[in-house]
């Protein structure tokens, strides 16, 4: 029942994806790309369909708690500026990573949260893979659930997009494989025991059964890089943020599912 | 600090239906057996020690919890829908603090 509902929802967004493709200046947009949800087993899908069965919501609770917690010298919390709950941020997270004109850098959602913490709240930044950061990103992204991913890749973001694209297509590691070799060439096929997906980030931060906890997209990148026996970069590094922009642009038009459940 | 408990009760049901109720409350469930790594002192026990579900004041499900139960206790149980009313859920921790939640059901 819920599966059918989801199909309808995705079908709706696929229509939107086509519309976007018609007016957006990109050659890489492919509306046939599917969310990782379609590559998941029915059991994993069922976990994601019901919020109460979705373990990621324990992190959403953490995020909700941190939202109104006053920290730092400025005596502020997120709620001081953004209001009592995060619903004011509906539709914000789907446009990240985003070019920031103040420091001329590409910011992932995590970078933005930490910038707000250090600049406005005068508080300590959170660790990328800490429970608070995972919780807050999950909580903020939850507000935009169901909305199509929509990152800008033109203008100032274009050079970052190009770098991300180059990273995606660059062979690396002992196995000499690029992201493309699996996620463009062989989605739907098995790599040893694992089913390959289109490699879309629309469910992140996601509860991964293998990790038994919520993890960031950059943690997933590290795992992928290690699997091809390449030296992984750090979470929050420029390389990974650029790559996040590129694969988010591949997911443009696909509904955001964060916080999702994946294998 | 108290987090919102999460409950799932069907909004509508037919009389005589068996309905599934799911509840989850985020709690650390500190066993009282762990030691603080820095000080070496035992962290005092702090768990949810009882859970109860009442329907219009009458108990339909209850449980006593012990330290062996993992964090974020999750309960799923069945109940028979007979009439419209309100389910009252209550979690009590070792400090005696009670957290409650309500859910309504319309039975036709």
Could you tell me how many residues make up chain A?
A: 263
Tell me which of A78, A179, A182, A224 is the catalytic residue: A224
Helix (H) or strand (E) holding A179: helix A179-183
Where does the pLDDT of residue A6 fall: very low under 50, low under 70, confident under 90, or very high at 90 and above? low
- Give the residue from A174, A192, A190, A201 showing the smallest Cα distance to A260: A201
CB within 8 Å: B7 and A52: yes
Alpha carbon distances (Å) from A49 to A9, A14, A18, A260, B9: 13, 19, 26, 9, 15
CB within 8 Å: A61 and B8: no
The residue segments making up the domain with residue A23 are: 2-262
Instruction: Assign residue A212 a region (left: φ > 0; alpha: ψ between -120 and 50; beta: otherwise).
Output: left
**Closest chain B C-alpha to A51 CA, distance in angstroms:** 9
Q: Decide if A140 contacts A63 (C-beta within 8 A).
A: yes
Task: Tell me the chain A residues in contact with residue B1 when contact means C-beta distances shorter than 8 Å.
Answer: 65
> A-B interface: how many C-beta pairs under 8 angstroms?
20
How many beta carbons lie within 10 A of that of residue B59, not counting itself?
10
pLDDT of residue A210: 92
Mean per-residue pLDDT of chain A: 87
Task: Tell me the chain B residues in contact with residue A131 when contact means C-beta distances shorter than 8 Å.
Answer: none
For residues A55-79, average pLDDT: 91
- All domains of chain B in start order, with CATH: 6-107 (2.60.40.10)
For residues A164-187, average pLDDT: 94
**Closest chain A C-alpha to B75 CA, distance in angstroms:** 11
3-state SS, A85-143, equals CHHHHCCCHHHCCEEECCCCEEECHHHHHHHHHHHCCCCCCCCCCCHHHHHHHHHHHHH
Classify A208 as helix, strand or coil.
strand
For A231-241, how does the pLDDT look when each residue is reduced to its tens digit (9 = 90+)? Answer: 999 999 999 99
Q: Is the pLDDT score of A187 beyond 70?
A: yes
Where does the pLDDT of residue A192 fall: very low under 50, low under 70, confident under 90, or very high at 90 and above? confident
Q: Is the pLDDT score of A24 beyond 70?
A: no
Where does the pLDDT of residue A174 fall: very low under 50, low under 70, confident under 90, or very high at 90 and above? very high
CB within 8 Å: A61 and B26: yes
Task: Tell me the chain B residues in contact with residue A51 when contact means C-beta distances shorter than 8 Å.
Answer: 6
Say if strands B85-93 and B98-107 run parallel, antiparallel, or are unpaired: antiparallel
- The secondary structure of residue B106, as a DSSP letter, is E
**Closest chain A C-alpha to B11 CA, distance in angstroms:** 15
Where does the pLDDT of residue A26 fall: very low under 50, low under 70, confident under 90, or very high at 90 and above? very low
Mutate to test the interface with A, among B7, B10, B22, B24 (most CBs of A within 10 A): B24
Q: Is the pLDDT score of A27 beyond 50?
A: no
* Closest chain A residue by Cα to residue B71: A58
CB within 8 Å: A57 and B6: yes
Question: Which member of A51, A53, A65 has the closest CB to residue B3?
Answer: A65
Active site residue A224: yes
Task: Tell me the chain A residues in contact with residue B3 when contact means C-beta distances shorter than 8 Å.
Answer: 61, 64-65
For residues A35-39, average pLDDT: 91
Alpha carbon distances (Å) from B76 to A52, B7, B49: 11, 10, 17
CB within 8 Å: A52 and B72: no
CB within 8 Å: B7 and A51: no
For B2-59, how does the pLDDT look when each residue is reduced to its tens digit (9 = 90+)? Answer: 578 889 999 999 998 999 999 999 888 999 999 999 999 999 999 999 999 999 989 9
pLDDT of residue A30: 56
Q: Decide if A85 contacts B23 (C-beta within 8 A).
A: no
The residues facing A262 across adjacent strands are A208
Q: Decide if B19 contacts B103 (C-beta within 8 A).
A: no
Mutate to test the interface with B, among A51, A55, A61 (most CBs of B within 10 A): A61
- Give the residue from B82, B89, B108 showing the smallest Cα distance to B18: B82
- The secondary structure of residue A71, as a DSSP letter, is B
For A97-143, how does the pLDDT look when each residue is reduced to its tens digit (9 = 90+)? Answer: 999 998 899 999 999 999 999 999 999 999 999 999 999 999 999 99
- The secondary structure of residue B11, as a DSSP letter, is S
Structure tokens belonging to residue B75: 């309960």
Interface of B with A (CB under 8 A): 1, 3-4, 6-8, 22-24, 26, 72
pLDDT of residue B18: 93
CATH number at residue A60: 1.10.760.10
Domains held by chain A: number = 1
- Give the residue from A104, A216, A95 showing the smallest Cα distance to A151: A95
């Amino acid at each position: 029942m819920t599966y059918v509902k989801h199909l309808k929802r995705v079908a709706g967004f696929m229509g939107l994806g086509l519309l976007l493709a018609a007016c957006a200046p990109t050659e890489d947009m492919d509306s046939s790309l599917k969310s990782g949800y379609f590559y998941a087993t029915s059991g994993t899908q069922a976990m994601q369909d019901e919020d109460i069965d979705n373990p990621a919501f324990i992190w959403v609770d953490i995020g909700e708690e941190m939202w109104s917690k006053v920290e730092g010298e400025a005596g502020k919390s997120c709620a001081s500026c953004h209001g009592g709950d995060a619903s004011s941020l509906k539709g914000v997270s789907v446009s990240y990573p985003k070019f920031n004109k103040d420091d001329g850098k590409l910011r992932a959602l995590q970078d933005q949260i930490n910038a707000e913490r250090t600049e406005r709240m005068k508080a300590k930044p959170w660790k990328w893979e800490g429970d608070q950061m995972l919780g807050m990103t999950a909580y903020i992204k939850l507000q935009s659930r169901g909305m199509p991913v929509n990152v800008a890749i033109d203008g100032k973001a274009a050079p970052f997009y190009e770098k991300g694209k180059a990273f995606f297509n660059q062979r690396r590691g002992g196995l000499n494989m690029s992201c493309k070799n699996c996620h463009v060439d062989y989605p739907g096929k098995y790599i040893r025991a694992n089913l390959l997906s289109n490699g879309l980030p629309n469910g992140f931060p996601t509860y991964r059964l293998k990790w038994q906890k919520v993890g960031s997209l950059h943690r997933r990148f590290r795992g992928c890089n290690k699997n091809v026996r390449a030296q992984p970069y750090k979470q929050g590094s420029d390389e990974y943020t650029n790559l996040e922009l590129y694969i988010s642009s591949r997911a443009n038009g696909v509904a955001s599912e964060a916080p999702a459940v994946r294998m | 600090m108290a987090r919102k408990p999460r409950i799932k009760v069907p909004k509508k049901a037919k009389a005589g239906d068996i309905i599934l109720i799911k509840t989850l409350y985020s709690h650390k469930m500190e066993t009282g057996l762990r030691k603080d790594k820095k000080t070496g002192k035992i962290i005092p026990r702090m768990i949810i020690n009882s859970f109860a579900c009442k329907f219009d004041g009458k108990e339909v499900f209850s449980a006593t919890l012990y330290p062996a139960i993992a964090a974020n206790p999750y309960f799923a149980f069945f109940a028979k829908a007979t009439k419209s009313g309100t389910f009252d859920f209550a979690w009590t921790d070792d400090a005696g603090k009670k957290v409650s939640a309500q859910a309504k059901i319309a039975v036709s």
